[in-house]
């Protein structure tokens, strides 16, 4: 029982990170139909900027806020400089542009920062918490709690605020949204900023556990994309469930089956789900956007 | 100029052959030939992948998996199963073809990003298998490949491999152009890859998709085998996610739906890092920036994009 | 464009390329050209990065002092990103295009093995900076290496376990080339030291949580020690998870984490961790009469003054490789690759950061177990286990 619980804690912590990354994919996808493969770099930037801002003398909380702001600005710049000029291009072309952006951002981080691994201190100490015989670090609680807060805030934003609703409207029908007076450019800008901020926040939360470096984003983007697809692209609930499922599958795979093939466990599950439900767990059925 | 020279299958192939001879004559030393061989091997994969992405409209983020299987076929089969090195690439190609055929139907039922994910997953499974089964594959550090011998003669020189690669690339281009020019291929092209329109017109879209998938997988496997035999060493990187992405970038960069564009894409992306080494640590920034710029301004890809602007200039 | 203009254009281009290549070769004739392919970026960048810095720094110093045999050294460095295929192409470039006389490089075992046949064919000496035993066993006449092998690391660790009366060991290894290869070696020599491996787990190079694997190890019967072959950020996370789970047996890391950043990354959890490493990490703590002291203190001081960051053993391997080559250049009196190879093979009594090197036709590394020191992390710093 305590062994199972230990695996579950591990899975939930890792899964919460995947879930936030998957949410980042979802926000941009919904507003612009673009799968942003630079999503992992937002997470990396969040962690790396915080590390270096605090090295340069900012107190940690200020450094974290500054990191979120800088990453959001980079998200906005990505939209302005790379996505908007290519409007109307083929979906695959847009994906390649975001891959180009991710290579560029990784190269930039390597030059501006360095190639070392870095860490942040845990927010509230390293003393493990005992839960029914299994242990949990306080930082894991921060990650899971942070993920939950992000989900609630996004839910509130998209369903209770006019601006959030206008993003959703744009995602359903851009022309109609324009006709009812929604500023589509602004909506796109906001969704890139929001997605980048979400990613950066995830980066700050997990760096004390996972450490970070200029190339930490690739793997996260891969897992986040997998999670978003498993849940059904475009569905925020799906992104969260998908992320947690991938995380738990990995932990259980490593614990009970084979640690060498734990990633394979996750991908086999995803493939199996897709063969039965071709648009993921909660994906929109019948509508084809590509 | 006679009309047959303007046809891709005659004029295009002839031009490609001329370029190959010219590159061979112009190459100052073996390093340039080595890069040219790498370009040729990548181009073989891209030509097949372009049929799948550009014509059948199906993206695959897992073709490096097939490439890797081919590479390991020529490494593992002679050592562990006693299959002669000369036969191993073809045995590997047939096995990969069978594998691709088996997964094609369920995978190609998926659309868009879901298809991308499924192919990505398949590629990753291959990668994990090659990395983890170190008894067989040597694990992440890779394994050496027995050198190819024909009539007892060791084939290891760059000149030999340049010849082999060139001939195989010409053959694959010729075969691919024939497939594109088949009734199904032509119908798909005429209908601008609108599946519904194609179906209405009575084109068996599903069948063409499966053919394109299996064909591109087999071509990737063959190129992988050749690459392993050429370099005498294989590592699982060849089957990795990043290599898959690279291959797709080559297709899109050169121009989706343009076979010769794909070759140009392969040439540019394979040789670009060699030019960028002088910028040392700025290499990745530049690579990313170049990729973005090209795709933003020539969104249909290098060859179609440049041809368009040429035509426009001539018209004005 | 007609065919003829095209051909003319190509011919002109060819002429330009050929001319510029010839011009470059002519200009470089008076220098000794040394090549290096390193994993400067990518997952093994912490191996390649300090090596690159070391090579650049020392080649500059040697040139300021008048070069070797009166000729300046020219260093050409390329980044393989840890990819064996790229490494191979870049090695071809060094051999064919840059026309080097020797190579000091190859950060990982995978890239080294991919490049070795090229140097054998071209008959140019290649001093590798990677750990795997396959590099020198069987001996490739043109390939040498400076770091200890992973097999020696296992032996050193097992010796220490034997001395402490520990015999039931749980393994948790990275699945990267380094971890995988060392795991194999450690399983291989376990019997010689009466070690029983009671748990054998792995983790991926980019994994962020190893508690499930460590939980399984903790649950293994009679566990007496845990050994973690691996490099990069993985061992730091393993160490933190190990502390989180409260596993109270000794934890051994490999020489793959032998740099100060491991202690920083793992924080308080690193207390009490033991690992085999070269004397470089404890330069100041060595006895005054230790024959290695002079070399390691000099290198450490020079590196830290120039780059303002702590030394790692991986930069030390590059120092050893370069200096072995320079000694060979001096001994041979010229830079003929064939003669260099013979002279490198005769290296004896060379004192490097990794220990005393005595090479022979059957031993292209020339180090023995005494070159390793067993270190323990105490109060956030390395201490020598006596």
User: What string of DSSP letters covers C55-107?
Assistant: HHHHHHHHHHTT-BTTB-EEEEEEE-TT-HHHHHHHHHIIIIIS--SEEEE--
Strand C355-357 relative to strand C350-352, pairing? antiparallel
- Residue of B18, B233, B269, B274 to mutate, testing the C interface (most C Cβ within 10 Å of its Cβ): B233
User: Are the C-beta atoms of A117 and A47 separated by less than 8 Å?
Assistant: no
CA–CA distance, B115 with B123 (Å, rounded to integer): 12
CB C330 within 8 A of CB C68: yes
What pairs with residue C174 in β-bridges? Answer: C203
Please list the residues that pair with A118 across neighbouring strands. Answer: A212
Q: Residue range B246-273: average pLDDT?
A: 93
Rounded (5°) CA angle B175-B181-B184: 110
Residue B240 CA neighbour count, 13 Å, CB half: 17
Do the chains contact at B111 and A108, CB–CB below 8 Å? no
Paired residues of C375 in beta bridges: C275, C384
Is-contact A247 A220, C-beta < 8 A? no
Find chain C residues with C-beta within 8 A of B280's C-beta.
79
Closest approach of C208 to chain A, Cα-based (Å): 5
Half-sphere exposure of B14 (CA within 13 A, CB side): 12
Task: Provide mean pLDDT across the span B153-182.
Answer: 88
**pLDDT digits over A234-285, tens only?**
888 999 999 999 999 999 999 999 888 888 998 999 999 999 998 889 877 5
Token couple for C208: 């962020």
Closest partner CB to A135 (pick from C46, C245, C269): C245
Chains in touch with B (3+ beta-carbon pairs under 8 Å) read A, C
User: Nearest residue of A to residue B60 by CA position?
Assistant: A92
**Which among A104, A107, A119 is positioned nearest to A212, based on CA atoms?**
A119
Q: Which of A36, A99, A228 would you mutate first to test chain B, the one with the most B CBs within 10 A?
A: A99
Q: What is the pLDDT of residue B306?
A: 87
In this prediction, residue B198 has a pLDDT band, given cuts at 50, 70 and 90, of low
Q: Which residue of A has its CA nearest to B249?
A: A96
Contacts of C79 in chain B (CB under 8 A): 277, 280, 283
Residues of C within 8 A of B134 (CB-CB) are 180, 184
pLDDT band at B40 (very low <50, low <70, confident <90, very high): very high
Segment among B198-202, B278-282, C327-331 with least mean pLDDT: B198-202
| Residue B298, phi then psi, degrees to nearest 5 | -120, 70
Mean pLDDT value of segment B50-64: 90
Interface test with A, best of B62, B105, B296 (most A CBs within 10 A): B296
In this structure, the strands spanning C168-174 and C196-203 are: parallel
Q: State which residue of chain B sits closest to C84, comparing Cα positions.
A: B235
Which residues are CB-contacts of C350 (< 8 A; sequence separation ≥ 6)?
C320, C323, C324, C327, C356, C357, C358, C366
For A50-97, how does the pLDDT look when each residue is reduced to its tens digit (9 = 90+)?
999 999 999 999 999 999 999 999 999 999 999 989 888 888 889 899
From the first residue on, what is the mean pLDDT of each consecutive set of 10 residues in chain C (386 residues)? 44 46 47 93 86 95 92 94 90 93 92 92 94 88 93 94 94 89 93 94 90 93 93 91 93 89 90 91 88 92 91 92 94 90 92 92 90 90 88
Cis peptide before C138 (omega within 30 of 0): yes
**CB within 8 Å: C219 and A209:** no
Question: Binning pLDDT at 50, 70 and 90, where does residue B148 land?
Answer: confident
Q: Among B133, B126, B8, B14, which Cα is nearest to B60's?
A: B126
Window 105-164 of C, Cβ < 8 Å to B = 108-110, 113-114, 117, 121, 132, 134
At C346, list the tokens: 């005769």
Measured CA to CA, the distance from residue B273 to residue B285 in angstroms comes to 11
Residues of B in contact with A273 (CB under 8 A): none
HSE-CB at C105 with a 13 A cutoff on CA atoms is 34
Residues whose CB is less than 8 angstroms from the CB of residue C211 and which lie 6 or more positions away in sequence, other chains included: A6, A7, A9, A10, A251, C241, C244, C245
Helices (H) and strands (E) in chain C, counts: 12, 14
pLDDT at residue number B153: 67
Cα B285 from Cα A109, distance rounded (Å): 9
Check: CB of residue B39 under 8 Å from CB of residue B262: no
pLDDT given at position B191: 55
Place of tokens 């983790």: C203
Nearest to B270 by CA among B293, B295, B285, B253: B253
Start-to-end CA span in chain B (Å): 23
- Please tell me which of the candidates B19, B232, B237 has its beta carbon nearest to residue C83: B237
Q: In angstroms, what CA-CA distances link B85 with B155, B219, B226?
A: 11, 18, 11
Q: Do C78 and B29 touch (CB under 8 A)?
A: no
Interaxial angle between packed helices C177-189 and C150-163, expressed in degrees from 0 to 180 and rounded to the nearest 10: 50
B273 touches chain C (CB under 8 A): yes
E-strand ranges in C187-262 read 196-203, 225-228, 251-253
Lowest-confidence pick of A245-249, B181-185, B216-220: B181-185
Q: What is the pLDDT of residue A78?
A: 95
Does residue B119 register a pLDDT over 90?
Answer: yes
Contact yes or no for C186/C227 (Cβ under 8 A): yes
Are B235 and C78 inside 8 Å of each other by CB? no
Please report all neighbours of C, defined by 3+ CB atom pairs within 8 A: A, B
Judged on CB neighbours under 10 Å (0-12, 13-18, 19+), B38 is: buried
> Is residue B84 pLDDT above 90, yes or no?
no
Task: State the DSSP H helix or E strand holding residue C233, giving kind and residue range, or none if neither.
Answer: none
Least confident of A26-40, B141-155, B228-242, C298-312: B141-155
Q: Render pLDDT for A186-196 as a digit per residue (tens, 0 to 9).
A: 888 999 999 99
Q: Does C183 touch chain B (CB under 8 A)?
A: no
Tell me the β-bridge partners of C277. Answer: C373
Are B274 and C93 a contacting pair at CB < 8 A? Answer: yes
- B60 near C CB under 8 A: no
Mean pLDDT of B259-272: 94
For helices C84-92 and B30-50, what crossing angle results, to 10°?
A: 140
Provide the shortest C-alpha distance from residue C28 to chain B (in Å): 17
Question: Virtual CA dihedral for B101, B107, B110, B111, nearest 10 degrees?
Answer: -70
Q: Is C209 helix (H, G, I), strand (E, B) or coil?
A: coil
pLDDT of residue C9: 46
pTM beyond cutoff 0.75 = yes
Of C209, C245, C265, the CB nearest to A13: C209
Beta-carbon count within 10 A of A211 CB = 24
Q: Are A259 and C203 an interchain contact pair (Cβ–Cβ within 8 Å)?
A: yes
Q: Tokens 């083929």, residue? A: A90
Verify whether the Cβ–Cβ distance C208 to A209 is below 8 Å. Answer: yes
**Which residues on A lie below 8 Å from C215 (Cβ)?**
3, 6-7, 255
The whole-angstrom separation of Cα B244 and Cα B241 is: 5
Tokens of A247: 């995380």
> C43 in contact with A at a CB cutoff of 8 Å?
yes
Whether B28 sits inside 8 A of C175 (CB atoms) is no
Structure tokens at A179: 């006709």
CB B302 within 8 A of CB B261: yes
All residues of chain A having their beta carbon less than 8 Å from the beta carbon of residue B249 are: 96, 99
Q: Does B284 sit within 8 Å of A222, measured CB to CB?
A: no
CB-CB: which of B124, B287, B295 is closest to A97? Answer: B295
In the numeric block, the tokens 């602007």 are attached to B309
Smallest Cβ distance to A104: which of B106, B121, B289?
A: B289
What burial class does residue B316 get, using C-beta atoms within 10 Å of its C-beta: 0-12 exposed, 13-18 middle, 19+ buried? exposed
pLDDT of residue B193: 56
Residues B30, B36, B40: CA angle, nearest 5 degrees: 140
Determine the Cα–Cα distance for residues B118 and A275; give it in Å rounded to an integer.
9
B277 at interface of C, judged by CB pairs closer than 8 A: yes
β-pairing verdict for C350-352 and C168-174: unpaired
Contact A121, B295 (CB under 8 A): no
Closest CA to C178 of C213, C120, C223, C228: C228
What residue in B sits closest to A273 (Cα-Cα)? B118
Residue with the larger pLDDT of the pair A288 and B67? B67
Q: Which of C46, C212, C244 sits opposite A7 (nearest CB)?
A: C212
Query: Does C248 lie at the interface with A, CB-CB under 8 angstroms?
Result: no
Q: Are C119 and C87 in contact (CB under 8 A)?
A: no
Q: Cβ separation of A6 and C215 shorter than 8 Å?
A: yes
Contact C212/A206, CB-based, under 8 Å?
no
The residue assigned the tokens 């990003």 is B113
What is the token pair recorded at B235? 């590592």
What is the model's pLDDT at position C34?
Answer: 95
What residues contact C222, with CB distance under 8 A and at least 6 apart? C168, C198
For residue B211, give the H/E element and its range: helix B205-231
Residues of B in contact with C109 (CB under 8 A): 141
* Rg from Cα positions in chain B: 19
Q: Which residues of B touch A261 (CB under 8 A)?
A: 128, 132
Is C316 in contact with C353 (CB distance < 8 Å)? Answer: yes
Cβ distance of B288 and A105 shorter than 8 Å? yes
Quick one: which H or E segment has residue C38?
strand C32-38
Lookup: tokens for B214: 């299996």
- Listed in sequence order, the DSSP H helices in C248-307 are 260-266, 293-307
For A37, nearest residue in chain B (alpha carbons): B245
Minimum-distance CB partner of B233 among C78, C90, C113: C113
- Best mutation target, B257, B265, B288, B290, to test chain A (most A CBs within 10 A): B288
Contact check, Cβ <8 Å, C209/A6: no
């Amino acid at each position: 029982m305590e062994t199972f619980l230990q695996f579950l804690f591990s899975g939930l912590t890792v899964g919460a990170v995947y879930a936030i990354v998957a949410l980042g994919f979802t926000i941009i996808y919904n507003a612009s139909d673009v799968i942003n493969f630079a999503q992992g770099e937002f997470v990396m930037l969040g962690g790396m900027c915080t590390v270096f801002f605090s090295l340069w003398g900012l107190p940690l909380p200020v450094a974290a806020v500054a990191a979120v702001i800088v990453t959001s600005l980079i998200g906005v710049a990505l939209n302005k400089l790379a996505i908007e000029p290519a409007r109307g291009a083929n979906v695959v072309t847009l994906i390649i542009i975001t891959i180009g952006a991710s290579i560029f951002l990784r190269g930039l981080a390597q030059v501006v920062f360095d190639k070392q691994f870095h860490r942040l201190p845990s927010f509230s100490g390293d003393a493990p918490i005992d839960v029914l015989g299994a242990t949990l670090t306080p930082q894991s609680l921060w990650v899971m709690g942070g993920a939950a807060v992000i989900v609630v805030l996004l839910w509130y934003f998209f369903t209770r605020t006019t601006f959030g609703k206008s993003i959703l409207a744009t995602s359903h029908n851009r022309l109609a949204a324009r006709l009812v007076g929604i500023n589509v450019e602004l909506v796109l800008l906001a969704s890139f900023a929001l997605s980048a901020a979400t990613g950066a926040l995830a980066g700050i939360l997990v760096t004390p556990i996972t450490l970070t470096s200029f190339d930490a984003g690739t793997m996260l983007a891969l897992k986040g994309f997998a999670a978003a697809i498993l849940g059904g692209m475009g569905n925020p609930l799906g992104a969260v469930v998908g992320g947690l499922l991938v995380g738990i599958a990995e932990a259980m795979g490593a614990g009970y089956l084979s640690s060498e093939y734990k990633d394979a466990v996750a991908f086999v599950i995803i493939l199996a789900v897709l063969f039965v439900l071709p648009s993921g767990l909660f994906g929109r059925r019948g509508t084809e956007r590509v | 100029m006679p009309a047959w020279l303007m046809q891709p299958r005659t004029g295009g192939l002839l031009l490609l052959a001329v370029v190959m001879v010219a590159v061979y004559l112009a190459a100052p030393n073996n390093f340039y030939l080595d890069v040219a061989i790498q370009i040729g091997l990548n181009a073989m994969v891209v030509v097949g992948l372009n049929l799948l992405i550009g014509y059948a409209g199906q993206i695959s983020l897992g073709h490096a998996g097939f490439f890797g299987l081919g590479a390991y076929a020529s490494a593992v089969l002679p050592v562990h199963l006693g299959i002669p090195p000369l036969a191993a690439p073809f045995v590997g190609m047939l096995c990969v073809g069978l594998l691709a055929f088996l997964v094609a139907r369920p995978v190609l039922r998926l659309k868009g990003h879901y298809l991308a994910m499924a192919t990505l997953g398949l590629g990753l499974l291959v990668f994990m298998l090659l990395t983890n089964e170190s008894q067989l594959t040597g694990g992440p550090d890779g394994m050496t490949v027995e050198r190819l011998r024909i009539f007892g003669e060791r084939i290891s020189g760059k000149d030999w491999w340049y010849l082999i690669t060139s001939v195989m690339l010409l053959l694959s281009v010729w075969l691919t152009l024939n497939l594109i020019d088949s009734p199904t291929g032509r119908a798909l092209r005429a209908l601008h890859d609108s599946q519904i329109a194609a179906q209405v017109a009575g084109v068996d879209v599903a069948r063409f998709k499966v053919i394109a998938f299996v064909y591109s997988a087999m071509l990737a496997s063959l190129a992988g085998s050749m690459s392993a035999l050429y370099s005498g060493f294989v590592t699982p990187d060849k089957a990795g996610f990043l290599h898959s992405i690279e291959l797709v970038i080559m297709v899109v960069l050169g121009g989706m739906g343009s076979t010769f564009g794909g070759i140009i894409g392969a040439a540019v992306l394979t040789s670009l890092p060699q030019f960028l080494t002088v910028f040392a640590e700025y290499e990745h920034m530049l690579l990313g920036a170049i990729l973005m710029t090209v795709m933003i301004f020539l969104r249909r890809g290098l060859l179609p994009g440049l041809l368009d602007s040429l035509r426009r200039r001539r018209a004005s | 464009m007609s065919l003829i203009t095209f051909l003319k254009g190509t011919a002109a281009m060819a002429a330009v390329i050929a001319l510029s290549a010839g011009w470059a070769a002519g200009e470089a004739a008076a220098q000794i050209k040394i090549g290096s392919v390193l994993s400067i970026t990518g997952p093994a960048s912490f191996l390649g990065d300090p090596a690159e810095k070391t090579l650049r720094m020392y080649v500059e110093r040697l040139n300021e002092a008048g070069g070797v045999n009166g000729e300046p050294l020219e260093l050409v460095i390329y980044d393989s990103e840890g990819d064996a295929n790229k490494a191979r192409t870049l090695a071809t470039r060094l051999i064919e295009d840059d026309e080097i006389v020797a190579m000091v490089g190859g950060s990982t075992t995978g890239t080294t093995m991919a490049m070795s046949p090229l140097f054998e064919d071209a008959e140019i000496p290649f001093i590798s900076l990677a750990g795997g035993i396959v590099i020198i066993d069987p001996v490739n006449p043109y390939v040498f290496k400076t770091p200890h092998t992973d097999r020696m690391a296992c032996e050193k660790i097992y010796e220490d376990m034997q001395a402490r009366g520990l015999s039931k060991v749980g393994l948790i290894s990275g699945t990267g080339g380094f971890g995988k290869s060392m795991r194999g070696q450690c399983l291989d020599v376990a019997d010689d030291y009466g070690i029983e491996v009671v748990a054998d787990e792995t983790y991926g190079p980019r994994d962020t949580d190893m508690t499930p694997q460590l939980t399984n190890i903790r649950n293994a019967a009679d566990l007496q020690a845990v050994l973690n072959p691996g490099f990069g950020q993985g061992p730091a996370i393993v160490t933190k998870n190990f502390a989180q789970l409260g596993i109270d047996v000794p934890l051994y890391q490999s020489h793959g984490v032998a740099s100060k950043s491991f202690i920083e990354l793992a924080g308080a959890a690193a207390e009490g961790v033991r690992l085999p490493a070269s004397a470089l990490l404890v330069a100041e703590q060595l006895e005054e009469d230790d024959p290695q002291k002079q070399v390691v203190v000099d290198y450490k001081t020079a590196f830290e003054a120039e780059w303002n960051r702590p030394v790692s053993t991986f930069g030390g391997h590059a120092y050893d490789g370069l200096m072995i080559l320079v000694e060979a250049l001096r001994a041979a009196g010229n830079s003929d690759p064939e003669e260099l190879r013979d002279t490198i093979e005769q290296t004896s009594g060379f004192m490097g950061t990794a220990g005393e090197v005595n090479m022979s036709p059957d031993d292209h590394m020339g180090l023995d177990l005494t070159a390793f020191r067993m270190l323990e992390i105490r109060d956030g710093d390395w201490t020598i286990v006596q």
